Amino acid sequence: MDSKQNKQKAHKTKTMSNKEIYRILAFEFQQQDSLGIKIDLIAEMVSSLFYPNDQNGEAKQNFKNLITQSFKSHCYKDEINEESFCNAMNSVEKYINEETTDRFLQKIFKRHDSDKDGFLNQQEFVFLMKNYKDSHLTEADMLAIYNRMSQGDPKGVSYENFKKYSL
């Protein structure tokens, strides 16, 4: 097979959705004996996937606790079925998406907070907007957005307001 055929074959391979993966895992975990063992196994596997290089283990342990709590709240009568597994994983996935968004916004905010005071002053905010702006925004528009986001605080836009208005 030449490289062109390999690329075409690889391109035809269907990627599984999260729901399909959850269903397969749910079936596998239905085969186990104890809910506690199943939840511990799931929590360990998933937290290891998301935090493989956690130096002190704190982030991994916190994530593992979140997963355990999510499964305990979605599993009834000491069993994990497909529906409860999918519901628990969906709540974990929602947390991951929210955490990823928060990390992304923090990164943008910190990158533009050049004086590192925890606020974006007008100059820092306008610089950020010029980097990420819609081509239709004018300088006056950017200043109006700054005034709305800073809510009159003389220090500027706090991270909390930046996040609130960015989502």
- Tens digits of pLDDT across the chain (167 residues): 555 555 555 445 566 676 676 667 666 666 555 555 677 777 887 777 777 777 777 878 888 888 888 888 887 665 667 788 788 888 888 888 888 888 889 888 999 999 999 999 999 999 888 887 677 888 899 999 999 999 999 999 999 999 999 87
63/136 Cα distance (integer angstroms): 41
User: Position of tokens 């820092």?
Assistant: 124
Task: Go through the chain and tell me how many residues it has.
Answer: 167
Other C-beta atoms closer than 10 Å to the C-beta of 85 total: 24
CA 116 to chain centre: 25
Task: Determine phi and psi for 158, rounding to 5 degrees.
Answer: -75, 165
Distances (CA, A) of 49 to 39, 42, 43, 44: 15, 11, 10, 9
Sign of CA dihedral 73, 89, 37, 68: negative
Residues 88 and 129 sit within 8 Å (Cβ to Cβ): no
